[in-house]
Amino acid sequence: MDYKKIFIEAFNQHNKDKCVEIAIEVIEKNIFTIPYFYEEILKKTLYSIDDCHDGDCIWKEHVKTSIARTVIECLYPYIIKIKNQATPLKQIVVLACPEKEYHEIGLKMIDDFFTILGYKTIFIGTNTPKNQVLNAVLRTKPKYLAISVTDYYLLFEAQKMIQNVKSAYKDIIIIVGGRAFKYNLDSIKEIGGDIYLETFEDFIKLREGDKNEISV
């Protein structure tokens, strides 16, 4: 059975129930891993939303986004299962998007990547006032602040967020990712990012370096 094709068809027909059923089936039966399902199917399906040429693109985009969110949330019990089998790490990761950034599905996916690999995550999400991110960092003392930026025009908001955090908490390591950086890698250093990750393989390599650390 071509699960990828069936999922994409269901997604494009706005068939939420079918999308959820397929997602659960492929994970239950170990047909795909969650990272593979996210990166190779769900992400690519979301990118293909651009391929719309009628006057109904916006409402359809919202419906599809909502289906993607439901699918991700429905897979969370499987994330817990994998997490409980992994060796827990000591490191904490806070995840946030800068002010005015409403794209958060990528951040939700990587929240699950970190969790699968044994990190403790604190997901704050979209459009977060920079002082609130700073407060979260000061209270929870994470090793990493993971920032997702999709819209290129919001890189300066990410820069303000990073400056705000780094000026008050020097030990933080800023991981950045998202569409805004993909074709614009020079901006990472300019805005104060320390590490750029893109694929689940990149996260595995990060974990290799973290697994032997004893304290946060």
Among 23, 27, 161, 176, binds ligand B12 (CB under 6 A): 176
Binding mask 131-170 for ligand B12 (x = CB under 6 A): ---------------xxx-xxxx-----------------
Q: What is d(CA 161, CA 98) in angstroms, rounded to the nearest whole number?
A: 7
By the rule CB under 6 A, 62 interacts with ligand B12: yes
Residue 14 touches ligand B12, criterion: CB under 6 A: no
Taking the least distance from each CB to ligand B12, the nearer of 43 and 160 is 43
Is 31 in a helix, a strand, or coil? coil
Residue matched to tokens 């706005």 = 14
Both tokens of residue 185?
């890698």
Q: Tell the smallest beta-carbon distance from residue 210 to ligand B12 (Å).
A: 14
- CA atoms within 13 A of residue 95's CA, in its CB half-sphere: 22
Q: Binding of ligand B12 at residue 175 (CB under 6 A)?
A: yes
Please identify, using beta-carbon distances, which residue of 10 and 96 lies nearer to ligand B12: 96
Q: Which of 21, 61, 194, 210 binds ligand B12 (CB under 6 A)?
A: 61
Q: Which stretch binds ligand B12 (CB under 6 A): 8-16, 70-78, 130-138, 171-179?
A: 171-179
Residues 17-36 that bind ligand B12 (CB under 6 A): none
Within 10 Å of residue 149's Cβ, how many Cβ atoms?
Answer: 29
Q: Are 135 and 94 in contact (CB under 8 A)?
A: no
Under the binding rule (CB under 6 A), the answer on residue 50 touching ligand B12 is: yes
Give me the least distance between CB of 67 and ligand B12, in Å please.
11
Identify which of residues 26 and 38 has a Cβ nearer to ligand B12 in the complex. Answer: 38
DSSP H stretches of helix in 29-169: 34-36, 43-47, 57-74, 76-85, 105-116, 130-140, 155-168
189 binding ligand B12? (CB under 6 A): no
Report in angstroms how near the CB of residue 203 gets to ligand B12 at its nearest.
7
Closest CA to 149 of 140, 157, 138, 141: 157
Is the CB of residue 118 less than 8 Å from the CB of residue 207?
Answer: yes
Segment 64 to 83, residues that bind ligand B12, using CB under 6 A: 65
The number of residues making up the chain comes to 216
Distance CA 70, CA 216 (A): 33
CB distance 124 to 147 below 8 Å: no
In the complex, the residues that contact ligand B12 under the rule CB under 6 A are 38-39, 43, 46-47, 49-50, 61-62, 65, 100-107, 109-110, 146-148, 150-153, 175-179, 197-198
